[in-house]
Amino acid sequence: MVRIEATPSLRIFRGSPVEGEIPAARPRGPGCGRTATECGDVAGTALLAMVLERVGESLVPRRLTMPAPSEGEVLLRVEACGVCRTDLHVVDGDLPEVRLPVIPGHECVGRVVAVGPGVDGVHVDERMGVPWLAGTCQRCDDCLAGAENLCGQATFTGYTRPGGFATHIVARAAYCVSLPEDADPVALAPLLCAGLIGWRALTRTGHARRLGLYGFGASAHIVAQIARAQQRDVYAFTRPGDIATQSFARALGACWAGGSNEPPPAPLDAAILFAPDGALVPLALRAVRKGGKVVCAGIHMSDIPSFPYRLLWGERELLSVANLTRDDARSFFATPATRAVHTRTRSYPLSAANDALADLRHGVFQGAAVLVPPRDEEACTWP
Ligand SMILES: [Zn+2]
Ligand SMILES: [Zn+2]
């Protein structure tokens, strides 16, 4: 059992009414000396989270003092939080300036339990999603040009702000997404990044009919369904020999599935790269026709090897997608094709976040991993 008293104060809740350091809450659980009723009450006073304290190490279960929402913020009780490849990049230190400790997780579905001052039109118990983009300055050239996804002052959920690998999360209300009340929160969670980033990447391909998807994970399995609903032909590229994922792609409507080292049966109009492997860039350029587009959707990618200019020549375009805007979220959730998406998920209890990350890293499941926080009565046994 983790001895919380030995835990230094966690500088996690920047922006909460208590500036800076938040002391860890007192330990609870079996043998804590409290009655069941008292322990049940803990669920309302302590925030349970899986915390990244050192880059490259496992997340650590922690019991933290419940934050209160500041001006413009809401406090949500987390119903489910998806596990994204970007969480792996945070854990591995692939992204710059990770400010530790941090609670990862940016595919967060929750219900409002408290509303901070200055928040209008949000009511308690309303379901909202907390995506990657957590805040922007709205003053810089990028924000003023409608490209808030490029804002240099942007904050990000589960990276520069506490994320959703927790029982509760504080988020800026203006950056939350309204979500359907009647949907399964586990099924919704992957839409909040895998879906949104995939959607932004898909829009960058224009009207491409023959669409290649490199890396058929959480994002691609959502994009494939939307692309099929839009009458596009989907070509799925997986790790060479990954027959199971190729079958999964065909089951979702892909007209062709094969290894990333294989040429498609017809030249593609566009390709989206979800796998963080720079070696895929020249392969994808080789697979698209003249005038075609290759869109890199990941936040991090290994180095791109050199390739002959003729692969780019012919007015092929190589693009990247960075973050997302609130308009992306609004248009994504308003699209009828989105409501028809069936996400394939594998649920893990919040305390098994490290297992979920490891399984994602090793590609042991199809679709998306989703963490489910403990119910109130289970909170007592949190480590
Ligand atoms: Zn800005
Ligand atoms: Zn993500």
Place of tokens 């979920």: 356
User: Are residues 229 and 184 both part of a single domain?
Assistant: no
76 Cα–ligand 2 center, Å = 19
41 Cα–ligand 2 center, Å = 33
Nearest-ligand number for the alpha carbon of 88: 2
162 Cα–ligand 1 center, Å = 20
pTM of the model as a whole: 0.87
Contact in structure between 288 and 316 (CB atoms under 8 Å) = yes
68 Cα–ligand 2 center, Å = 25
CATH code of the domain covering residue 147: 3.90.180.10
Whether 266 is covered by a domain: the verdict is: yes
Q: Measured in Å, how far apart are the chain's first and last C-alpha atoms?
A: 5
CATH code of the domain covering residue 213: 3.40.50.720
Whether 157 is covered by a domain: the verdict is: yes
Q: What are phi and psi of 139, to 5 degrees?
A: -125, -20
144 Cα–ligand 1 center, Å = 7
Nearest-ligand number for the alpha carbon of 368: 2
141 Cα–ligand 1 center, Å = 7
152 Cα–ligand 1 center, Å = 6
Whether 339 is covered by a domain: the verdict is: no
DSSP string, 213-231: EES-SHHHHHHHHHHHHTT
Task: Measure the CA angle with vertex 79, ends 78 and 82; round to 5°.
Answer: 90
Token pair of 172, please?
Answer: 């800026």
86 Cα–ligand 2 center, Å = 5
197 Cα–ligand 1 center, Å = 19
330 Cα–ligand 2 center, Å = 17
Token pair of 311, please?
Answer: 């692969």
- E strands, the chain, where? 46-51, 60-65, 73-83, 107-115, 127-130, 133-135, 155-156, 168-172, 177-178, 210-214, 233-238, 256-259, 268-273, 288-296, 317-320, 345-349, 368-372
Whether 335 is covered by a domain: the verdict is: no
pLDDT tens series, the chain, 383 aa: 323 222 333 444 433 333 333 445 545 544 455 544 455 444 457 899 999 999 999 999 999 999 999 999 999 999 999 999 999 999 999 998 888 999 999 999 999 999 999 999 999 999 999 999 999 999 999 999 999 999 999 999 999 999 999 999 999 999 999 999 999 999 999 999 999 999 999 999 999 999 999 999 999 999 999 999 999 999 999 999 999 999 999 999 999 999 999 999 999 999 999 999 999 999 999 999 999 999 999 889 999 999 999 999 999 999 999 999 999 999 999 999 898 899 999 999 999 999 999 999 998 999 999 999 998 767 777 87
Count: domains in the chain? 2
Helices 326-334 and 194-204, packing angle to 10 deg? 90
User: Are residues 185 and 200 both part of a single domain?
Assistant: no
Return the H-helix or E-strand segment holding 196: helix 194-204
User: Are residues 48 and 152 both part of a single domain?
Assistant: yes
User: Are residues 220 and 126 both part of a single domain?
Assistant: no
Domain enclosing residue 301, as ranges: 195-320
Q: Which amino acid is located at 359 in the chain? A: D
Place of tokens 């860039």: 281
Nearest-ligand number for the alpha carbon of 195: 2
Q: Which residues of 3-36 are buried (b: 16+ CB within 10 A; e: fewer)?
A: ebeebeebebbebbeeeeebebbebbbeeeeeee
85 Cα–ligand 2 center, Å = 6
Reduce the DSSP state of residue 139 to 3 states and report it: coil
User: Are residues 275 and 162 both part of a single domain?
Assistant: no
357 Cα–ligand 1 center, Å = 31
How many CB atoms neighbour CB 372 within 10 A? 17
Helices 243-251 and 218-229, packing angle to 10 deg? 30
